[in-house]
Structure 1
Amino acid sequence: MVTYSTWFMAMTWLFAPFLFNPAGFAWHKIVDDWSDWNRWMMNQGGIGVQPEKSWESWWNAENAHLRYSVLSSRIIEVLLCLRFFVYQYGLVYHLKISHDNKNFLVYLLSWVVIISIVGLVKLVNCASRQLSSKHQLIFRFIKLLTFLAVVTSFILLSCLCKLSIMDLIVCCLAFIPTGWGLLLIVQVLRPKIEYYAIWEPIQVIAHAYDYGMGTLLFFPIAVLAWMPIISAIQTRVLFNRAFSRQLQIQPFIIGKTKRR
């Protein structure tokens, strides 16, 4: 019951700004917000770039306090992040591919998969920085090889180890919290590792997490905004008293005034 109430509270926090905004389900407003948000996500950060102008600057500002934390605070932060690994430990043993094997080796193999994913991200990121501008054909060929390697791995695992679609879903449910926990731990260790090659794929993964979260937030809102009846119902609910007094509120919502 606590889990359901927690999820309900999280959903209300995420979607309340849209539900109680008179223009929250206006299609043109959603399109404008999506464009602005994409621009914010893709803008490069750096010195002098404000957090409201770039995701990278915002991300650095949000975690800047960890640079000045004392050792005890960092240790506590790392210990709190370990809770995300519990999901992975519990779910990997429910995979059909494990054949009900409770050996600790199964858990270690799941970490091999995570390390492989980070390696692929590092490979694509390096290729993007070094080849995307001058050697587009080579860069696309590398992406094609990476895609074919991943697909081939899935096919081999499906044929040889009986990997199922449900296993892939369970893997996502297991690895997503683990990746988030790793990102939090890496932020604590950032002063020690940010000048090494491992830092760039970590930042790419953090960007992917936030981009995916934003997409999941925009998608249901866009679907509801696409249906005009939803906007009409929302307007009726929010301004029920105004409707009961026969007031014309639509001009105020769309920002226009009637000429007499």
Structure 2
Amino acid sequence: TGRDFVVEHKKFAENYRLYARSHFVKGIELGVILLVYASHSPLAKDTFVYIAMTISSWFLVISWIMSPFIFNPLGFDWLKTVYDFDDFIDWIWYGAGVPSNAERSWETWWFEEQEHIRSSSFWGKVLEIILDLRFFFFQYGIVYQLNIASNNTSIAVYLLSWIYFFTLIGIYVIIAYAKERYAATEHTYYRLVQFLVITATVLVIVLLLEFTKFEFMDLLTSALAFIPTGWGMILIAQVLRPLLQTTVVWDTVVSLARLYDLMFGMIVMAPVAFFSWMPWFQSMQTRILFNEAFSRGLQISQILSGVKSHVERRQ
């Protein structure tokens, strides 16, 4: 993990700040590639062949996502996982525009993560944009696999997918604007906007089901196409920050980036929460990390701390 051996528990938010870009995002990206390969590759139809070809890659995905927590003492303690989740949510949604440090505010941390881009040369930024274009290949490859495409290989299908993508962005902007404008003071207007957006979305889906070959499975498949595209757009917007920061587009970029980090955090925390829920996994991790005497003392201290908190609540 690149960090020295520690004997105290590190919160999930701290681990996320440290490993988000070096471990978690790379692991999720590789995982999405493997899922797309499993969904659309002819070789993946043979389960044994797929496992034989991708087992090392899946092991890399698991290592990137789980290694910071496997070597984190009490990383799979259920109570600490619950507290870490609350702390992570507070960090993500810390007041926008409120001056604070990276340990308290997601927005401050996010801006600090872009410092290397600001100090890059012109050609370094061009190279950064070229590398970020790889996320658009997901959309290009997947949209032709949708049922609504009807096996049409025309470039118009790809161009039409961009219209859908920007429509989704527009819907998000409308809801975000309504929330900022009306949620606190004009709650009825905010609910009305939500109702109109949901009604229009349902109506469009019904029309697509009636007059095209659209199927509900296309919604899940298109998520594998549009989510990487959105992340690629955010990364490119970070490079173009000097041009965008004074426009209304930048507020949308920051808001979307917050949602993406929230989504990444939920994806990473899901297996952590699952293993924390398993009663034997925490004990196994403690025995692996520490010797038996220390493990026994750690378990006793957990029991005593639990008894102490119970007594304090009764008082």
TM-score higher than 0.5 here?
A: yes
| Partner of residue 242, structure 1 | 292
Deviations 1:130-177 (A, max 9, x none): 111210111111112112222222222122212123322221111111
| Partner of residue 233, structure 1 | 284
CA contact (8 A) 2:182 2:190 kept: yes
| Partner of residue 257, structure 2 | 206
C-alpha distance in structure 1 between counterparts of 2:181 and 2:160, whole Å: 32
C-alpha distance in structure 2 between counterparts of 1:93 and 1:99, whole Å: 8
Aligned residues: 254
Please say if 1:251 is aligned against 2:251: no
Unpaired runs of 5+ residues, structure 1, are none
- Given residue 65 of structure 1, which amino acid in structure 2 is its aligned partner? H
| Partner of residue 14, structure 1 | 65
Deviations 1:8-65 (A, max 9, x none): 3232122122223341121110011011111100102547411111111111111133
Unpaired runs of 5+ residues, structure 2, are 1-51, 306-315
Q: Which has the larger displacement, 246-255 or 216-225?
A: 246-255
Distance change >3 Å, CA 98–CA 249, structure 1 → 2: same
C-alpha distance in structure 2 between counterparts of 1:74 and 1:2, whole Å: 35
| Partner of residue 77, structure 1 | 128
Return the offset for 1:246: 10
C-alpha distance in structure 2 between counterparts of 1:140 and 1:247, whole Å: 54
CA contact (8 A) 2:234 2:257 kept: yes
CA contact (8 A) 1:122 1:200 kept: no
Q: TM-score, normalized by length of structure 2? A: 0.74
Deviations 1:213-235 (A, max 9, x none): 10111122212212313223333
| Partner of residue 101, structure 1 | 152
C-alpha distance in structure 2 between counterparts of 1:110 and 1:17, whole Å: 37
Return the offset for 1:197: 1.7
Return the offset for 1:255: 7.6
Q: TM-score, normalized by length of structure 1? A: 0.88
Please say if 1:117 is aligned against 2:168: yes
| Partner of residue 166, structure 1 | 217
Task: Report 1 or 2 for greater relative contact order, CA contacts < 8 Å, sequence distance ≥ 6.
Answer: 1
CA contact (8 A) 2:135 2:229 kept: yes
Distance change >3 Å, CA 64–CA 21, structure 1 → 2: closer
Give aligned-pair identity as a percent. 37
Q: Which has the larger displacement, 197-206 or 210-219?
A: 197-206
C-alpha distance in structure 2 between counterparts of 1:53 and 1:230, whole Å: 30
